[in-house]
Amino acid sequence: MRKVTLVLEDGTKFHGKSFGYDRPVAGEVVFNTAMMGYPESLTDPSYAGQLMTLTYPLVGNYGVPPFTVGADGLATFMESDRIYASAIIVADYSEQYSHWNGVETLAEWLKREHVPGITGIDTRELTKVLREHGVMMGKIIFDDEPDNIPEADYEGVNFVDKVSCKEIIRYNEGAGKKVVLVDCGVKNNIIRCLVNRGVEVIRVPWNYDYTSMNFDGLFLANGPGDPDMCEDAVNIVRRQMSMSAKPICGICMGNQLLAKAGGAQIYKLKYGHRSHNQPVRMVGTNSCYVTSQNHGYAVDAKTLGADWEELFVNMNDGSNEGIRHKVNPWFSSQFHPEACSGPVDTEFMFDKFVETLK
Ligand SMILES: NC(=O)CC[C@H](N)C(=O)O
């Protein structure tokens, strides 16, 4: 195992060892406090451009599931067809694994996909630094190699364009109600949750103009990076809203794009929400849900247009967790009702959306 140093933008250094693919890398350093779910998180396209730190200390002990493909054409156990995070940072990598579904070690997978992984890092201390300072750019460099990689950019990069599909993909063709799914970097379980509810899914590139297509509802998916890079998608949503009151639902980046289409502004959170236990409250009720999240930006609820209202708020920091239109069936969540990984308590969001199609 080669020695590595993680160097943060402010000069803070953490020393560890490489267990993944040996390659220096730069990106935005973020932390996730979930206790499991590394196969799902690594393959979540929303982590593109980021070095993912896990605070749970033991990682790798349940191995990696196989890349089998189900009848729906999607990877059965993964959220996309490859790793999108730029690297994984852990405290204590376990080469030994045991799980009914494990077929290889995390190190084998990372090496095959050319993704760096580092261990021996005090990830809880690193997380304290990120919480104090806010997320920072960082680099993983090899101690026996000169630092020859450029700084990376995160803000101002259109990551959605890098990860979105390039042409239309259909699922469950002929099933009945048709849903256009705007692929900003969609997780497989969003598609599964729609397909399992008996609708046809027409997955389109993030900047595709679907307004003249024949469909019953619009779904805006999750995706990486700064939502302000996705003006093209926002303009198309706005045009769709001006043309008809067809149902619209959004998740995470989808919440941000819907809010922007409704006139609201987005800001960057100090260190984001990435975990399985983010508490949210449904506005106007005492119903609270434990949710799975992965985002760095948030909707500034004060800037929502008069036709919109908050649907959910985060009980830790009061930030927006969802919006809805006061008249039309247009609503979205900042959290992930599809989970994968994490609690599935909010899957009712998909039920509500499919009900509104009828
Ligand atoms: N998971 C997502 O869709 C993330 C949305 C956006 N990239 C953010 O970080 O806020």
By the 10 Å C-beta count (0-12 exposed, 13-18 middle, 19+ buried), 282 is classed as middle
Q: Supply the mean pLDDT for the chain.
A: 97
Give the pLDDT confidence of 321-333 residue by residue, as tens digits: 999 999 999 999 9
Distance CA 271, CA 265 (A): 18
Residue 103 C-alpha to ligand 1 middle, in angstroms? Answer: 30
pLDDT of residue 148: 77
Other residues' Cβ atoms within 10 Å of the Cβ of residue 189: 22
Distance CA 341, CA 358 (A): 29
Question: What is the reported pTM?
Answer: 0.97
Give the pLDDT confidence of 298-308 residue by residue, as tens digits: 999 999 999 99
Give the pLDDT confidence of 84-135 residue by residue, as tens digits: 999 999 999 999 999 999 999 999 999 999 999 999 999 999 999 999 999 9
Q: Which amino acid is it at 49?
A: G
Ligand 1, residue 224: give the atom nearest the CA: 7
Set 252, 273, 325, 340: catalytic member = 252
Residue 160 C-alpha to ligand 1 middle, in angstroms? Answer: 10
Phi, psi angle pair for 150, to nearest 5°: -70, 160
Peptide bond into 333 cis (omega under 30): no
- Best residue for ligand 1 mutational test, from 31, 46, 181 (most atoms within 8 Å of Cβ): 46
Give the pLDDT confidence of 149-175 residue by residue, as tens digits: 889 999 999 999 999 999 999 999 999
Give the pLDDT confidence of 13-54 residue by residue, as tens digits: 999 999 999 999 999 999 999 999 999 999 999 999 999 999
Any residues with CB less than 8 A from the CB of 297 and at least 6 apart, and which? 226, 227, 256, 266, 267, 268, 269
Distance CA 217, CA 248 (A): 6
Give the pLDDT confidence of 166-218 residue by residue, as tens digits: 999 999 999 999 999 999 999 999 999 999 999 999 999 999 999 999 999 99
Any residues with CB less than 8 A from the CB of 14 and at least 6 apart, and which? 5, 6, 8, 121, 122, 125, 126
pLDDT interval class at 147 (50, 70, 90): confident
Residue 46 C-alpha to ligand 1 middle, in angstroms? Answer: 6
Which neighbouring-strand residues pair with 119? 17
By the 10 Å C-beta count (0-12 exposed, 13-18 middle, 19+ buried), 214 is classed as exposed
ipTM rounded to 2 decimals = 0.98
Over residues 240-266, the mean pLDDT reads: 98
pLDDT surpasses 80 at 146: no
CB of 295 within 6 A of ligand 1: the answer is: yes
Distance CA 257, CA 220 (A): 8
